[in-house]
Amino acid sequence: MTSQTARTLGASLRYEFRMQVRKRSVWIVPALTVVLFLLIGGSLLRDLFDPNERKGQPAEARTAVVGLAVQVHALLSIGFGCLLADRLIRDDRLRVAPILDATPARPGARLVGKYLGAGAATAVPILVVYFGFAAAYAVHTDAPQALGWALATCAVVIVPGLLFVAAFALTLPLVMPAPLFRVIFVGYWLWGNVVVPDMMPTLARTLVHPLGGYPLDALLDFHGIDGDDTWAGPVPGATLNFLRPAPTPTTAWLSIAVLLVVAAAALAGGHAVRARRA
């Protein structure tokens, strides 16, 4: 990377972050989703914070914060994808694109800066919510190691998933209207994460599972709050099992790499679409 490219990336990242983090909807949408989480995730929170709920056997710190991550990630990522859907196309909508494109700054570096900057800004409320709950749990149970597990979970589950989502949220609206993308994205997110593989073909439990089934299973040894669940690997009778190798640390890192490579491919595709329109 040349120094000019690095400077372009840095400038774009900084200003895209600044513009996105000031958007009210970036804070309102996650806030409303947290209300939903408190309603839906109430049983999980009782499991974590109410000592009587689990008959004196509270979930250990790792299980607790990873369980929190799964629910926060599953719910708040929907808003995350929807909020990013206008970021790239808005340069054209606002008619700023011509003056940006007339600068010597490389369009690819601007795209990556926008991706990382707008993505990071949109992720801030998610991380605030997650680390807020994790910190509350650490204080409540006097288990500071929970924060370490929260950081690790964030690194191997939440961040790769959000990078995957952000790449498509930024680039797909170049080839379809943003509202349509949002509808399709919500459908995809539920289908690809919630629908069980023996019900219909789905990306759940595959290497391309943005909720991070493989890292959850093989790197964090998470099997649900009660220890009964599995998150990755083949399902008897399900289609797409070729994408579901047995969960091991290697396949977990492979899964993360696949998500990042697919995200990079989506960005490259978006870059090519914009270049072709010139």
Partner 1 sequence: MRIEISGLTKTYRGGVAALDGLDLTVPTGMFGLLGANGAGKTTLMRILAGLVRPTSGRVTVGGHDMSTGAGRTAVQRGLGYLPQDLGVYPDLTARQFLDYLALLKGVDDRTTRRRRVGELLEVVALTGDADRRLRGFSGGMRQRVGIAQALLADPQLLIVDEPTAGLDPQERIRFRTLLSQFAGRRTVLLSTHIVDDIAQTCGEVAVLARGRLIFRGTVDELTHRARGRVWSVVTDGPPPAEGMVVSALPHEGGTRYRVVAPAAPDPRARPVEPAIEDGYLALTTR
Please check whether residue 112 is in contact with residue 267, taking contact to mean a CB–CB distance below 8 angstroms.
yes
d(CA 131, CA 254): 26
Q: Nearest 5°: phi and psi at 133?
A: -65, -40
Please check whether residue 222 is in contact with residue 240, taking contact to mean a CB–CB distance below 8 angstroms.
no
3-state class (DSSP) for residue 41: coil
Residue 102 Cβ vs partner 1, minimum distance, rounded to whole Å:
4
Total residues interacting with partner 1, rule: CB under 8 A: 24
Residue 115 Cβ vs partner 1, minimum distance, rounded to whole Å:
16
Residue 20 Cβ vs partner 1, minimum distance, rounded to whole Å:
9
Specify the stretch interacting with partner 1 by CB under 8 A; choose among 8-16, 28-36, 176-184, 258-266.
8-16
Residue 7 makes contact with partner 1 by CB under 8 A: yes
Specify the stretch interacting with partner 1 by CB under 8 A; choose among 19-27, 127-135, 205-213, 214-222.
19-27
Residue 114 Cβ vs partner 1, minimum distance, rounded to whole Å:
12
Residue 95 Cβ vs partner 1, minimum distance, rounded to whole Å:
3
Residue 113 Cβ vs partner 1, minimum distance, rounded to whole Å:
10
| Torsional sign, CA 122, 155, 138, 249 | positive
List, in order, residues 6 or more apart from 218 with CB less than 8 Å away. Answer: 232, 247, 248, 249, 251, 252
The label of the residue with tokens 């070729």 reads 242
- Interface pattern 152-181 for partner 1 (x via CB under 8 A): ------------------------------
**Residue 252: how many CB atoms within 10 A of its CB?**
23
Specify the stretch interacting with partner 1 by CB under 8 A; choose among 16-24, 33-41, 168-176, 210-218.
16-24
Residue 22 Cβ vs partner 1, minimum distance, rounded to whole Å:
5
Site for partner 1 in 97-136 (CB under 8 A): 97-105, 110
- Interface pattern 249-278 for partner 1 (x via CB under 8 A): -----------------------------x
**Which one-letter DSSP state was computed for residue 215?**
I
Specify the residue, 110 or 205, whose C-beta has the smaller distance to partner 1.
110
Assigned token pair, 27: 């804070």
Site for partner 1 in 59-98 (CB under 8 A): 94-98
Radius of gyration of the chain (CA): 20
The CA-to-CA distance between both ends of the chain, in Å, stands at 24
Q: Nearest 5°: phi and psi at 58?
A: -65, 150
Assigned token pair, 39: 């309603």
Binding site for partner 1 (CB under 8 A): 4, 7-8, 11-12, 15, 18-19, 22-23, 94-105, 110, 278
